[in-house]
Structure 1
Amino acid sequence: MGDVELSLSRLRMLRELHRQGTVTAAAGALHYTASAVSQQLAQLERDVGGTLFERLGRRVQLTELGIVLAEHAEEILGSVERATLALEDAQQARTVRLTAGVWASVAAGLLPQALTALAAEHPGIHVRTRELAPEDTAGAVRDGALDFSFVIDYSGHPMTWDPALTREVVAVERLYAAVPAGTLPGPTVALAELAEHPWILAGPRSHFGRAVRLACRRAGFDPTTSHEVEEQYTALAMVSAGLGITLVSDLGLVRHPPGMDVVPLTEPVMRTVSIAYRTRAARRPALHAVIECVRRVAAMQGLGAEAGLTVPDDGTTGPRLPLP
């Protein structure tokens, strides 16, 4: 065998194939199409000059050669990341590029001011963003597609957590009832009082959709979903048109249509916003500069993370309250 030049992106795809077991799942984790991953893995086999995997029905099993390369891929990719960190330290974070996973309300409510402050204080740190569903962002960080991401946890429905990731809480939000204007007579409402209304909710597979449904069940009812939509602003537009009610967070209220009332819940439903990054990247000064800017903006908006909330060391998630 002659000299072999290995592509880092193809090694990352092989590593993910080894973890996931199917090309489709690996492609989803890395945010590529399945055909693109198949083509790149085929090229990797040509680069290596041997068979790296074989299909067993819908699943894929790595050959002995594939397992050897996948194991070395872990070491190679880890070494590349450590080298990147060392270079950043040597350059004192003067020129650093980070890619962040965001979702709509964070992108609209926190990032504009945070990135403006970052540019003024640390002009050498450049942040690119990629919008993903909130439940997908942590996996993209774990797999190396992102340097960090925003993640959420609800007071009654924490996400499972990967021990390879560390998170820093940057904001604490409250959820409110969003209802057509004039629907409710009082200044606050108990969640149970909304049981007879038609609901506009994200699907039950989304973290937000599951969290709201669980909160409603704890209040003694299952919400009747008239409209299932994933984007919060779309849900609010439907509320303003009188089509139903929903819950909305503080950041979701950065922009909202007219024709609706926002009513506090008598028993608050809370959620935390954190920044997740790979634990081995904890020494990156650029990363902590970003976190500090985001925290400062959240605090200016009254969403400061210091309100009696911590993230435990045991890998579990969710706020440690007293709730306000």
Structure 2
Amino acid sequence: MLGEVPAGARVVALGRTVKTAAPALAAYLRRERPAALYAHMFPLTWMAVVARMLPGTRVPLVLVEHIDFDAGFRAHPRSRALMRRLGRWIYPRADRRVCVSAGAADSLAALARIDRQSIDVVYNPVSLPAAPNAPTASNLADWWASAPVRLLAVGRLIAQKDYDTMLAAVAALPETMGAKLLILGDGPDRARLEGAIAAMGLGDRVRLGGFQPDREAYYARASVYVMSSRWEGLPTVLIEALIAGLPVVSTDCPSGPSEILDGGRVGTLVPMGDSKALAKAIVAAAAAEPDREMLRARGRDFDPPAAAKRYLALIGMGSDER
């Protein structure tokens, strides 16, 4: 994703794996003396704490976590045990602790056994260029854009996203809808999902489009955005869909969707793993006339300037205007 780094931004490559990067990061802190260090996402947050413990590295440190740890670590007992054993030691060593949703903050506090009041919540900054006329990959556009109902999902092809439930939901849709699902993203489950699509006879209704950098063009052409995740933190894709004025159907997973969709006021929430409920919600969303201005207004609540003010305020720069 280096191509998405803004022009003029400085990129420093530490040249190490995550496990061995702490000394290189410490050397950078000694040399550059930055105003603050914001470390995002475990295990980088823990590495930053280790680096800041080394001599000559005293800069304000803000740790930012992006997932619901309780749900995310359920299938990883070793990481869960490590968090329980060391979380209480690691997180208090930062100057500030942040999660990207209230649900993620509740989860971190419980799992790491730290005071919930010591964790700030700052929503991720999200923006989406208005580009309804941007080009899409022609092989996908020809197949998908002409469908009566165009379903869109964006995310890595991993177990967390539970695309199996999404495929089962598409299989349950009435064929008269003419719905086609396009999933943008790549990941280790690609071959398995391609096999599942073929086995379910969905080859003419579902495509895996790979990573597409111009996703705003797909949001602009979609009829309904669909998410079937088992857990999240604050799923950016839902906010991007709202900014584009796109109706959203999502599982009510921990955590983020309910916060983003205001408890279901600006989108439809369904139980996790329930393909029938997901299919029913997709049918209803496709048939309804969306209030696109309401959707866009909710999306604007996540404008980058608001998050920037909050992050600066955490280290005593600017005002904390919420």
TM-score bucket of the superposed structures, by smaller chain: under 0.3
The structure with more strand, counted as a fraction of residues: 1
Q: Is the radius of gyration larger for structure 1 or structure 2?
A: 1
TM-score normalised according to structure 1 size: 0.25
More contact order relative to length (CA 8 Å, sep ≥ 6)? 1
